[in-house]
Amino acid sequence: MENVVLIVHLILALALIGVVLLQRSEGGGLGMGGGGGGAMSGRAAATALGKVTWFLAAAFIGTSIALTIIAAEKSADASVLDRLAPGASTSEPAEDAPALPGGGSLLPPSPTTGGELTPSAD
């Protein structure tokens, strides 16, 4: 289900980009583009491309919300800590922790051993 919504979302994004690029510029941005036919009116006439743009934008927002809901349901029972390797503990420093030139580590000290965050001087 998530893959179908994601594919529809991507197709809508590409279609929305294409429709926006096909539209004629109506000016207003830095004084560039567009003609004056209706520039003084309060609202321009809705064109077919304008209506398609609104429809695609609404569908794009709908699929965005649907993907957010699907992702939230999938991760409702999961925790970031559950993704750690089995046997990994947050109090033990990792074996592949980056070492500083003086021999210290970038990881904070474990609560059982204490220590400082500054590198040891040799």
DSSP 8-class letter at 32: -
pLDDT computed for residue 1 by the predictor? 86
The string of DSSP letters for 43-91 reads SPPPPHHHHHHHHHHHHHHHHHHHHHHHHHHHTSS--GGGGSPTT--SS
pLDDT at 113 over 70: no
Task: Give the per-residue pLDDT at 67.
Answer: 96
pLDDT, tens only, 20-74: 999 888 765 555 555 555 555 556 667 889 999 999 999 999 999 999 999 988 8
pLDDT of residue 114: 54
What SS3 state is found at 9? helix
* Prediction pTM value: 0.54
111 Rama sector, left if φ>0, alpha if ψ -120 to 50, beta otherwise:
alpha
Q: Which of 6-10, 84-88, 118-122 has the highest mean predicted lDDT (pLDDT)?
A: 6-10
What pLDDT does residue 17 have?
Answer: 96
With a cut of 80, say whether residue 112 has pLDDT above it: no
Question: Which residue has 């919504």 as its token pair?
Answer: 5
Alpha carbon distances (Å) from 29 to 25, 32, 64: 9, 6, 28
